[in-house]
């Protein structure tokens, strides 16, 4: 049996009959850049993410870059983020001329530890970029609270987390917030391997601030408004109509796919827990954190019901952790099972960031995660047989 890490061909088979007419419509219109298809898709993402505005851009990387540009962040500024993320998060900061300042992650969620942020804030600090890694929101309220007190901008890197939910617990009320709707900007990626992936590159910035939305729209077209009159120096950050057409079709299926990913995660959890590997300390499973937080802390009937349907993790990746990661990965590869390491080198130890001056040991939780984490196949089209094959192979390896 072969089990790839992701099977986009299997997904395409299920939506081909919807995709082809949508593509044909774009081809017949010959309107390829921005335009009504993009506008329509932007509105859908805004609604889906509980935001007033969403601005389609060329990639998730550019979503981050244009958000920083919209705040005039540049040389002399610091932006706080995590060293345990895809390079684009910090790369966008560097491309503005600002300096990434890292804080370590929590060991259970792999997301930025809010308790470590304040000590890194200086007069140079302008923004915080929490990353919702693997499909689970960072602990946003302490971050938003601190940012509010210090006057900092919050840019959510929600590239891996479209549709993920985070509960804002107040004593009287439970507010469920969608990834991308909590900070000043929410950045999404539509890279093909994302839960909502296009047929090429694409991204989106969501916001609840109409002034910011307007500025983003101007910046994505070289800062021009009206056409050929340039208020600012922007860039070509436009989303194209073919991506918008494909993504609009896929958005209709996203909740079903997310439910399937969550079901697959629950099956892995149950199988690995009953295998004894977790109790023996041989592997650690991903923690879907926020549902438990609600169940423990808020005991009203309404919140109980809501906690059951809360999409606290949308499992862009299902990540196990083990000290024998590399050997396990080799064993699975030999059995035709696709896996990946997200990410083998934390950003502060990347060659291009050695000049930032963080020696090994600066962020022990991130460095440990980089040695131990392994992504297993979790995509919605994974069959029961394939999943059992993966579980059996992991168990065999440790037996």
Ligand X SMILES: Cc1ncc(COP(=O)(O)O)c(C=O)c1O
Residues of this chain that interact with ligand X (CB under 6 A) are 59-61, 85-86, 88-89, 131, 157, 159-160, 189, 191, 201, 203
Taking the complex as a whole, the smallest distance from the CB of residue 112 to ligand X amounts, in Å, to 12
Closer by beta carbon to ligand X, 59 or else 321: 59
Closer by beta carbon to ligand X, 88 or else 176: 88
Q: Any idea which residue has 């889906």 for tokens?
A: 48
Taking the complex as a whole, the smallest distance from the CB of residue 66 to ligand X amounts, in Å, to 12
**Residue 151, token pair as written in the block:** 């006057």
Taking the complex as a whole, the smallest distance from the CB of residue 58 to ligand X amounts, in Å, to 8
Taking the complex as a whole, the smallest distance from the CB of residue 234 to ligand X amounts, in Å, to 17
- What single-letter DSSP state applies at residue 279? T
Closer by beta carbon to ligand X, 131 or else 310: 131
Residue 15: CB partners within 8 Å, gap ≥ 6? 249, 250, 253
DSSP assignments along 207-251, one per residue: ES-HHHHHHHHHHTBTTBSSTT-BSS---B-BPBHHHHHHHHHHH
Taking the complex as a whole, the smallest distance from the CB of residue 370 to ligand X amounts, in Å, to 15
Closer by beta carbon to ligand X, 89 or else 258: 89
- What single-letter DSSP state applies at residue 151? T
Whole-angstrom distance, CA of residue 221 vs CA of residue 237: 7
DSSP assignments along 2-59, one per residue: -B-S--HHHHHHHHHHHHHHHHHHHHHHT--BSHHHHHHHHHHHHHHTT-SEEEEES-
Taking the complex as a whole, the smallest distance from the CB of residue 96 to ligand X amounts, in Å, to 15
Nearest residue by C-beta to ligand X? 60
Q: SS3 of 324, please? A: coil
**Residue 366, token pair as written in the block:** 């991130």
Closer by beta carbon to ligand X, 131 or else 393: 131
Residue 284: Cβ within 10 Å count: 18
CA 157 to chain centre: 6
**Residue 195, token pair as written in the block:** 């839960």
Whole-angstrom distance, CA of residue 32 vs CA of residue 36: 10
Closer by beta carbon to ligand X, 63 or else 294: 63
Taking the complex as a whole, the smallest distance from the CB of residue 62 to ligand X amounts, in Å, to 7
- Per DSSP, what are the bridge partners of residue 33? 240
Closer by beta carbon to ligand X, 51 or else 204: 204
Closer by beta carbon to ligand X, 110 or else 397: 110
Taking the complex as a whole, the smallest distance from the CB of residue 159 to ligand X amounts, in Å, to 3
Phi, psi for 176 (deg, rounded to 5)? -95, 120
Closer by beta carbon to ligand X, 201 or else 367: 201
Taking the complex as a whole, the smallest distance from the CB of residue 188 to ligand X amounts, in Å, to 8
């Amino acid at each position: 049996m072969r089990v790839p890490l992701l099977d986009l061909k299997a997904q395409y088979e299920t939506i081909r009959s919807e995709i082809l007419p949508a593509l044909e419509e774009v081809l017949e219109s010959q309107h390829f850049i921005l335009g009504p298809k993009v506008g329509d898709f932007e509105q859908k993402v805004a609604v889906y993410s509980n935001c007033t505005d969403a601005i389609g851009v060329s990639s998730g990387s550019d979503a981050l870059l244009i958000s920083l540009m919209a705040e005039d962040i540049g040389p002399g500024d610091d932006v706080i983020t995590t060293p345990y993320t895809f390079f684009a998060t910090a790369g966008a900061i560097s491309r503005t001329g600002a300096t990434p300042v890292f804080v370590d992650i929590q060991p259970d969620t792999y997301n930025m530890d809010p308790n470590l942020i304040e000590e890194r804030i200086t007069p140079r600090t302008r923004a915080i970029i929490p990353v919702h890694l693997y499909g689970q929101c960072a602990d946003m309220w302490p971050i938003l609270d601190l940012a509010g007190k210090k006057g900092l901008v919050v840019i959510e890197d929600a590239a891996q987390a479209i549709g993920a939910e985070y509960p804002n617990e107040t004593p009287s009320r439970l507010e469920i917030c969608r990834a991308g709707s909590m900070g000043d900007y929410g950045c999404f990626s539509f890279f093909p391997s994302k839960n909502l992936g296009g047929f090429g590159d694409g991204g989106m910035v969501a916001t609840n601030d109409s002034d910011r939305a307007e500025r983003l729209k101007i910046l994505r077209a070289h800062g021009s408004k009206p056409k050929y009159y340039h208020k600012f120096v922007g860039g070509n950050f436009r989303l194209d109509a073919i991506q918008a057409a494909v993504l609009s079709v896929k958005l209709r299926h996203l909740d079903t796919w997310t439910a399937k990913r969550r079901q697959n995660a629950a099956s892995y959890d149950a199988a690995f827990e009953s295998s004894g590997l977790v109790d023996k300390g041989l592997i650690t499973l991903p923690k879907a954190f926020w549902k438990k937080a609600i169940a423990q802390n808020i005991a009203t009937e309404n919140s109980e019901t809501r906690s059951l349907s809360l999409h606290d993790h949308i499992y862009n990746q299902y990540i196990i952790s083990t000290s024998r990661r590399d050997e396990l990965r080799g064993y699975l590869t030999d059995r035709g099972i696709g896996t990946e390491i997200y990410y083998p080198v934390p950003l502060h130890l990347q060659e291009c960031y050695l000049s930032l001056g963080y020696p090994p040991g600066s962020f022990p939780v991130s460095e440990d995660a980089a040695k131990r984490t392994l992504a297993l196949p979790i995509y919605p089209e994974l069959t029961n047989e394939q999943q059992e094959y993966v579980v059996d192979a992991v168990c065999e390896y440790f037996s």
